[in-house]
A and B are shown apart, each in its own frame.
Chain A
Amino acid sequence: MTGPAASPALRARLDRLLAANAIFVALLLVWLVGAAGSEAFVTPGYLFNVVRQIAPVGIAAIGVTYVMILGGVDLSIGAVISLTAVFCAVQMDGDAANTLPAILLTCLVGTAIGAVNGALIAWSRVTPFILTLGMAVAVYGLTQIYSGGTARGTVAPGFRDLANTRLEGLVPVLAIVFLALAGIGLAIQKMTTFGRQLFLIGSNRQAAILAGLPVRRTTVIAYALAGLFGALGGIALLARSGVSSTSAGQGLEFQVLAAIVLGGTTFEGGRGGIAGTVAGVLVLVMAFNLVNIVGLDYHLQLVVMGAIIILASALYGQLQARTGRA
């Protein structure tokens, strides 16, 4: 460690502060723009509804954040959401008594798929990007085989009613579930050894190996958690809108990734976290709602999403290069 001159040090600190909090500034800005344009943005009922709308994507994004801190990625998450939504409905089979077992079994399936991803990546030197892309195709095929092309299964009575009730007539249960899961996710990231090791491994893999950190175990756990939160996202999707297709989650992986990258967790790994991801998710959904109100069509939303992924990655990359790595 050489002692840098005072002014570059200050500048580096400012940069670091900016890099860490840019997303929260962006969140505030989007909200202000929204509030200026539409009364709805200052109505609590509407805001909670926005949180509920994005709950499936938000929940899934929590798990993928771990993988990305590690320097990996999980593109199979959309397929996992599709499979678990259909699977959970089939296990429920229209009987309230099945609700809990069905949810547990679904979480198990999601975790298992994630663990397979993790194991394949931990014990080989393959690119997670392409591997999970292949896994997405395989899981999609599995969903089709399992369901035969129709979204089988009947949701247990009471399940969706519970998830869609508003406590005190205002706060939807699903929104609370999302925020609670984000809290748990944050706790795992901040308060466990696993969470700390994620950042160490993500910022310098070789050093982590040399330091004797359990790189493989951490990798498997991270991907398994991504699968678990993916399954919870699938269940949330089921709760929000019922099963109406075998590919309900297809494409959601890109919203997940855009939100995470926006939140400051980069593809290079070693930085970011759940708090940023949640903010990124909220920015994304508010931006999309704004875009809807303005009347910009879905195709331009795609261009915006692509540009976000490229520019946010580039921006955080530059900031990181300037502030230096841990």
Chain B
Amino acid sequence: MAHTRRFLPALAGMAIAVLLSTGAQADRAARDAQDAAAARMVDTATFKQDGPYRIGVSAGYMSNSWVVFALQHIRWEASQHDEVSEVIVTDAAFNPAKQVSDIEDLLRQDIDLLLYWPVDDAAIADVLQRAVAAGVPTINTGGGFADGPGTVANAYISQWSLGEDVARRLMKDLGGKGRIIAMLPIAGTTAAVDQLDALNTVLAEYPEVELLTAEYGDWNRAKAKQITENLLQRYPRIDGVFSPAGQMSIGVAEAFDEAGRLDEVTMSPGDEYNGWLKWVAEHKQGGAVPFPTRAGQVAVQIGLKILKGEPVPRGTAVTATFISPETVGEYVEMDAPDDWWASKLPPKFLPPR
């Protein structure tokens, strides 16, 4: 129902990745264990079969531009393989019970491969195991690394590496000293926990940089703006902003601008959200550490390998090169909407604009 949707974008964050209950000191050991788990090879022999293949996509939610672009990457990649006969998409609209039903319905339609992004990992763990038991390989698409028995392989993005990269570049731009604020996604999500942990790890090397406060803007531009307006009241001087999500970075930068204090602040890199890239192009500052929407494309490639019985690693990290203020011209689309992602999608597969 409508009233909860205010929360739902917020919960998207929880959905995007496996949740960690540990605080800011998520230890190195856990990350090493994850890297080791991701590198392990998967025995794909049991899934080997001949085409044509029907690909099922169970979307936990679809009302989000990143997800729309990831899905278009799935469609684009599928169109390049003749052995793929069909892509069937269901949308749970943030309802985990509906996602369970959706996956059950997809399995009834004899799909050969299941790509998914969860509303909630734990809620679909059981039905995913049933899918694997029925011989349908499952691939967690986008977001964090999932290691449950119901997930055969991952096309994932590491929030920690992303946060570390953003933090290091901010430190460099700040010249190694100053007072900064951090704008994070929803409290408690892997994204927020890992980004803050990465920032703190980097900050340990820079004793002259002080973290004034870490705030949670819930991936919401308006909320990030409102929070920053309050912070500007509270702190007479802010030298830098750590904000890996471009969508929130714009809200933060706008608040500084409207307070007439944009000159005093150094913005960290965001991601390749088009609205943010426009800001980078205009202000020649910040840049972008991408959160690649082509994770969808990678997921299809992994899935087809599995169906052909080729070995794949349990986790494939999807990365992309840094977009600097100098190179941003190659990525930004000044005429496209803000809510848009820089990508290599051919025009035919771009969402309507």
Give residues in A with beta carbon < 8 Å to B: 40, 43, 46, 49, 53, 75, 78-79, 89, 94, 133, 136-137, 140, 144, 147-155, 164, 166, 237, 240-248, 250-254, 289, 292-293
Contact = CB atoms under 8 A, between A and B. Distances in A.
Interface in B59-97: 62-65, 67-69
Given A46-B233, A78-B2, A251-B7, A245 B335 contact: no
B222 A250 contact: no
15 contacts: A89-B337, A94-B335, A144-B63, A150-B69, A151-B338, A152-B352, A154-B337, A237-B222, A243-B339, A244-B247, A244-B338, A251-B3, A254-B3, A292-B230, A293-B230
B235 to A, nearest CB: 12
Q: 4 smallest A-B Cβ distances: which pairs?
A: A251-B6, A250-B5, A151-B339, A241-B222
B183 to A, nearest CB: 14
Nearest to B7: A251
Given A89-B337, A149-B68, A151-B338, A242 B221 contact: yes
A251 B338 contact: no
Contacts of B258: 164, 166
Nearest to A132: B2
Interface of B: 1-9, 62-65, 67-69, 220-222, 225-227, 229-230, 233, 247, 250-251, 254, 258, 275, 335-340, 351-353
A140 B5 CA distance: 10
Nearest to A40: B233
A153 B353 CA distance: 6
Contact of A289 (B230, B335, B337): B230
A136 B5 CA distance: 12
Nearest to A155: B338
Contact of A151 (B69, B220, B337): B337
A237 B226 CA distance: 13
A46 B226 CA distance: 12
Contacts of A150: 65, 68-69, 337, 339-340, 351, 353
* Candidate in B4, B8, B67, B233 with the most chain A CB atoms within 10 angstroms: B233
B281 to A, nearest CB: 14
A35 to B, nearest CB: 14
A152 B352 CA distance: 7
Contacts of A244: 220-222, 247, 250-251, 275, 338-339
B219 to A, nearest CB: 9
Contact of A154 (B1, B9, B226, B338): B338
Contacts of B247: 244
Contact of B63 (A46, A137, A149, A153): A149
Given A144-B63, A150-B68, A293-B230, A243 B5 contact: no
